[in-house]
Amino acid sequence: MIQALGDVIGGAIIAIAMAWFSWNLFKIIHYPELGPVAGFFIVTASLVTTHHGSRMLPIIFIFSLISMFCGWSEAAAWRARRDERKGQRKGSNLAGVQRFW
């Protein structure tokens, strides 16, 4: 029972770490929603090619699938916040001087 609990917690930690890393990697190119998807496909590829009785990979697969959907929905909110901040800074008028950045 302790080993099963360790597999579930370990699988969740690995999937979360992979989603976080891939999110930040794809945030550089302004498409963070592709990060969890890429992580999911990496886990799927490793599951298909190397699954030889390992109990950890299917658990990571399930948690990666969950993180993919969570990341996809969060990306729309992230992009809206980024566009809102960009719109606020673009035309700020300071003492009659128009600043664009």
Q: In this predicted model, what pLDDT tens digit does every residue of 22-43 receive, in sequence order?
A: 888 888 887 887 887 887 888 7
The pLDDT value recorded for residue 16 is 84
Within 10 angstroms of residue 25's Cβ, the number of other Cβ atoms is: 14
Burial of 96 (0-12, 13-18, 19+ CB in 10 A): exposed
Per-residue pLDDT averaged across 6-17, rounded? 86
Enumerate residues 6+ apart whose C-beta is below 8 A from 18: 39, 42, 43, 60, 64, 67
Between 93 and 26, residue with greater pLDDT: 26
Asked whether the CA dihedral 36, 39, 45, 48 is positive or negative, the reply is negative
Threshold 0.85, pTM exceeds: no
Enumerate residues 6+ apart whose C-beta is below 8 A from 38: 22, 26
Model confidence at 101: pLDDT above 60: no
In 3D space, the residue among 2, 40, 3, 4 whose CA is nearest the CA of residue 23 turns out to be 40
Q: Give the span between the Cα atoms of 70 and 67, in whole angstroms.
A: 5
Compute the residue count for the chain: 101
